[in-house]
Amino acid sequence: MAPNLVEKITDALHLPGSHKHKKTSAESEPKKPILDKEKVSVIFVLGGPGAGKGTQCSLLVEKYNFSHLSAGDLLRAEQDRPDSHFGDLIRTCIREGTIVPMEVTIKLLENAMLAELRSKSGEGWTNGKGRFLIDGFPRKMDQALKFEEDVCLSSLVLFFTTDEETMLKRLLKRGETSGRDDDNIESIKKRFVTYRETTMPVIEHYEKLGKVAEIDSSSPVDQVHTAAVAAVTKVLV
Ligand code: ADP
Ligand code: AMP
């Protein structure tokens, strides 16, 4: 995307509590992410649609006082925001199961993270510390690289995995009550293709870096949770 378009998106997403980068005088210094991995734990949560990411994140929030930021939820909220410039773009991407341009998604995440760091307290949130489950992100290599360059390095990728038949059944069941535009058979099939073709390479990238904890999410919710806890406790700062 052209740099001036990136700036426009950044301005347009200037939500309450948002943050803008200020150029420092030391422009020659190597660029660093705005958040320090030693203080802020970022755990990416990936897996196919319906694998159980949101379910497991809610349980981990109760246990560890994480901030749970779902990229999909942030995009749906931005889509519904009356003044949003991106409502139609996001709506189309969600219905078609495609990836929303990374500038939009990353800026929404960055704004939400900074707001949480300002306001959240309790276990894991003292002295500038914080702990985030970033759910459904990164779904494409460009957003993985850009987020880690600009915002924060990740500590772990929790990768929930089960077969497509199971995910399909779960999503159709969820669709009976979720009210989501994309919990229908046409959108689900498209989401599976995007997952296989675009998101799996991201998981493979992090596997090469030894950062992935793969968890079979075919089992009952409590068993999956036990496995997730074991992985998470190793990386919390
Ligand atoms: P995702 O966030 O990965 O899209 P969700 O957490 O929303 O998935 O789960 C999709 C559906 O499957 C939900 O209705 C949820 O209640 C159900 N579900 C999640 N985990 C399990 C599990 N381990 N066993 C059975 N059903 C599950
Ligand atoms: P989810 O709520 O995680 O099932 O995501 C629903 C939809 O939101 C996806 O099918 C995409 O269209 C969009 N979306 C979610 N996360 C991302 C992301 N990280 N990058 C781009 N688009 C996303």
Annotated binding site: 50-55, 76, 98-100, 136-139, 143, 174, 180, 191, 219
Give the pLDDT band (50/70/90) at residue 155: very high
What is the tens place of the pLDDT at every residue in 180-225?
A: 999 999 999 999 999 999 999 999 999 999 999 999 999 999 999 9
- Position 31 scores a pLDDT of 82
- Nearest atom in ligand 1 to the alpha carbon of residue 223 is 23
- pLDDT of the residue at 17: 45
With a cut of 70, say whether residue 14 has pLDDT above it.
Answer: no
Neighbours of 83 (CB within 10 A): 7
Dump pLDDT digits (tens) for 157-181: 999 999 999 999 999 999 999 999 9
User: Annotated binding site for a ribonucleoside 5'-phosphate, which residues?
Assistant: 76, 98-100, 136-139, 143, 180, 191
Q: Using the 8-state DSSP alphabet, how is residue 56 labeled?
A: H
Q: How many Å lie between the centroid of ligand 1 and the Cα of residue 221?
A: 8
**For a pocket test of ligand 1, which of 45, 55, 166 has the largest count of ligand atoms closer than 8 A to its C-beta?**
55
Question: Looking at the predicted structure, is the pLDDT value of residue 25 above 70?
Answer: no
Q: What is the mean pLDDT of residues 85-105?
A: 96
Residue 7 φ/ψ, nearest 5 degrees: -65, -40
C-alpha distances (whole Å) from 78 to each of 12, 83, 91 are 11, 9, 10
Task: Give per-residue pLDDT as tens, 61-86.
Answer: 999 999 999 999 999 999 999 999 99
Q: How far is the CA of 162 from the centre of ligand 1 (A)?
A: 11
Task: Read off the pLDDT band of 23 (50, 70, 90).
Answer: low
pTM of the model: 0.91
Question: Around Cβ 43, how many Cβ atoms within 10 Å?
Answer: 25
Predicted pLDDT of residue 170: 98
Q: How confident is the model at residue 129 (pLDDT cuts 50, 70, 90)?
A: very high
* Token representation of residue 215: 């968890």
The pLDDT score that the predictor gives to residue 82 is 95
Residue 29 confidence class, pLDDT cut points 50, 70, 90 = confident
Angstrom distance (rounded) from CA 149 to CA 223:
35
